[in-house]
Amino acid sequence: MAYCNTPLHLNEIMSNNLQLNLVHLYPEEMNIYGDMGNIIALKQRALWRNIEVNYQVVDKKTSQVDLEKINGDLYFMGGGQDNDMFLVFADLINYKKKFIETEISKNKLFLLICGAFQLFGKFFLDAEGRSIAGLEILPLETKAPGNKLTDRCLGNLASNLSPEVLQEISASYPGQVQETLVGFENHSGQTFFTDNSILPLGKVLVGKGNNNEQLIEGAKFKNVFASYSHGSLLPKNPHLADYLISLALKNKYPEFSKLEKLDDEIEWTAHEKFLKRISSK
C-alpha cells in the first residue's frame, strides 16, 4: 500500500505555525457510543502534523461573556440519550443559537453526530407525539416512530460517499481515498430533508442511515457536516477527518493548500476489515 512506512516523526520535523481551535459542544451530556473518539482523532491528526490544537468546551456553564471569546475553527457535537438531549436543548436554543448561526455564516466547520444532527434541524417529534423545536439551522425534521427496540435504526452502518463529497475529499486528503464511510448507528429518530439546499454525505450500503426509506446517510449544508455514525466516526474514516481539518484550516488561512500525508495503514485496514466483516454477515 502506498501509505505505508512513513514514520510519523518525520512529519514533525517540518515545523509550521498553524493553529486549530477545536470546540467541543456539551461533551458531558452529548457523548455516547464513543463520540469522544472524534475529538481524539481530530486532535491527534493535527498534532501529528505539528498543527497546534486549542481544545475548548462550550456547555451549560459557558457564560455569554465567555461565549463571545470563543473563536472556533472546528466545532464538534456528539449524540446523547433522548433525556440528555432535552437537558441540552433549552440551553442551546436560549443561549447559543445566535452564536452558532454567526459561526456557520462565517463558514466555520461543524461536525454533528446523531442527536446533534437532529437538534440542528427544525424539530424532533418523539414517540409520544411531543414536538420539540430544534435550532432550525439545518433544513430537516426528525420523527421517532415508536419506543420499541424494533423501531430503532441499530447496527453497523456503511455508505458510499456521494460523488460531490467524494470529489472534495479526494482533493484534500493526501493519500488514496476510499469511497466509503463506516460506523455504527443507534437512533429512533427518522430524519428527512425539507429542501434541496442540504445534501446527504452518502448512499447507504449496509444499515439504515437517516431514515428507513431513502437509503441516504448524513448531511452536508455549507460547512456543517452531520452523520448518524458512531463508531467512532473519524478514526476509521481518516479521509473525512482530514477533509474537515483541511477545510477548517483553509477557512482560517487562505494561503493554506494541503495537509501533510500520514501513515494511515492501520486506519484503512480497520476500515476495510470492518467492511468485509459486515458484508459477510
Partner 1 sequence: MRLKYLPAFWFTKITILLLKLLGRSQGTALPGLLMEQLAPDSLNDFTDQLKYTILITGTNGKTTTQSILSNIFKASKLNYIANKSGSNMIRGILSTFINQSNWLGKIKPKYGIFEIEEATLPKIVTAMNPKQIIVTNLFRDQLDAYGEIDRTEKFIREALEKAPQAVAILNADDPRVALLTRGFSNQTLYFSLNAPEKKFFKYEGLSLEKLEIVPSEATELKINPNLSTSFKFLAENYTLKLPGIHNVYNVLAAVLAARLLKIKTAEIHEAVLETLPAFGRGEILKLNNTALQILLIKNPAGLNLTLELLTHTKNSNLIMILNDNIADGRDVSWIWDAELEILNKIQPAEIIVSGKRAWDMLLRIKYVFSEFTKKSENLWQVGDTNIKIIPEQSDLILFLNSENQAKHYFVLPTYTAMLEFRKLITGKAIVA
Q: Is the dihedral of CA 174, 175, 178, 180 positive or negative?
A: negative
Compute the distance between CA of residue 167 and CA of residue 95 in angstroms, rounded to an integer: 37
- Closest approach of partner 1 to the CB of residue 260, in Å: 14
- Closest approach of partner 1 to the CB of residue 9, in Å: 5
Interaction between residue 19 and partner 1 (CB under 8 A): no
Smaller CB separation from partner 1, 59 or 168: 59
Interaction between residue 202 and partner 1 (CB under 8 A): no
Residues 182-201 that bind partner 1 (CB under 8 A): 184, 186
What is the number of residues in the chain? 281
- Closest approach of partner 1 to the CB of residue 41, in Å: 6
The answer to whether 32 and 205 have CB atoms below 8 angstroms apart is no
Angle at 278 between CA 235 and CA 221, to 5 degrees: 50
Compute the distance between CA of residue 250 and CA of residue 244 in angstroms, rounded to an integer: 10
Q: Which of 24, 153, 187, 230 is catalytic?
A: 230
Pairing of strands 109-113, 74-77: parallel
Using CB under 8 A, pick the residue from 194, 212, 273, 279 that binds partner 1: 273
Q: 230 an active-site residue?
A: yes
Residues 26-65 that bind partner 1 (CB under 8 A): 31, 33-37, 40-41, 44, 47-48
Sheet holding 224-227, edge to edge: 52-58, 19-25, 74-77, 109-113, 224-227, 219-221
Interaction between residue 180 and partner 1 (CB under 8 A): no
Q: 114 an active-site residue?
A: yes
The stretch near partner 1 (CB under 8 A) out of 7-15, 19-27, 57-65, 191-199 is 7-15
Q: What x/- string results for residues 77 through 116 when contact with partner 1 is judged by CB under 8 A?
A: ----xxxx--------------------------------
The answer to whether 236 and 216 have CB atoms below 8 angstroms apart is no
Smaller CB separation from partner 1, 156 or 190: 156
Interaction between residue 230 and partner 1 (CB under 8 A): yes
Smaller CB separation from partner 1, 172 or 232: 232
Interaction between residue 130 and partner 1 (CB under 8 A): no
Interaction between residue 134 and partner 1 (CB under 8 A): no
User: Which residues make up the interface to partner 1 (CB under 8 A)?
Assistant: 4-5, 7-9, 12, 31, 33-37, 40-41, 44, 47-48, 81-84, 155-156, 184, 186, 230-232, 235-236, 263, 265-267, 269-270, 273-274, 277
Instruction: List the catalytic residues.
Output: 114, 230
